[in-house]
Amino acid sequence: MDTVSLVTGGNRGIGREVCRQLVTLGHTVILTARDENQATAAAEQVRAQPLHLDVTSTTGIRAAAAWIAEHYGRLDVLVNNAAITYDTWQQARSADLAVVREAAETNLYGPWQMVQGFLPLLRKSRHARIVNVSSEAASLASMGGGTPAYTASKTALNALTRMLADELRTDRILVNAVCPGWVATDMGGPGGRPVADGAASVVWAATLPDDGPTGGFFRDGHPIPW
């Protein structure tokens, strides 16, 4: 049977390109977005299945999991890509904490809820993969100031990745964080690498072999410092 993959925030940028590349590899791809019309339009472009899903909505996640259970019976790949608030205008010493909390709802609690909600379906897969799309901005080894909402939420997402990888090891579910690099998207802005290259970094983790790494932080298939 085809590999069943779900990508959050799939209506644009890296998420949409990840969907396109996975479809090309023969996956059945469920492209999700919090705007139903945008999900439908993007899915038509890449030949994916659209699904309305807001990762901050617990009831929405439950409904999406029930729909996938009914139509596919399992989930093989979960790509937690949806993210908001690259707050270049803020600094930690004066940050608007309401903005930080809002970013965490999507960038941290969203993926956390997604894993909890879809774990029963992932456990029904023989080759389950969870990919948390992170950023080198979250690396403590090279961290400086700026973008506090985005950086703090992605650093916490990296910590969640480590915990989940350890806890799900006995289920043979590989869990990794991936930095796609600075990519020329609406969030990343002009001047970055091609979207296809950043997405390929994510797809690499989504298609790891059974003996592949878990609990790692990667870009282009190579480890980067936590």
Catalytic residue list: 150
Whether the CB-CB separation of 7 and 81 falls below 8 Å is answered with: yes
Whether the CB-CB separation of 75 and 68 falls below 8 Å is answered with: yes
Helix axes 109-122, 148-167, angle to 10 degrees: 20
Q: Which residues pair with 173 in a beta bridge?
A: none
Q: Which amino acid is at 96?
A: D
CA–CA dist 31, 124 (Å, integer)? 20
CA–CA dist 182, 170 (Å, integer)? 34
Beta-strand relationship, 129-133 and 174-178: parallel
Work out the number of other CB atoms within 10 angstroms of the CB of residue 74.
18
CA–CA dist 199, 18 (Å, integer)? 5
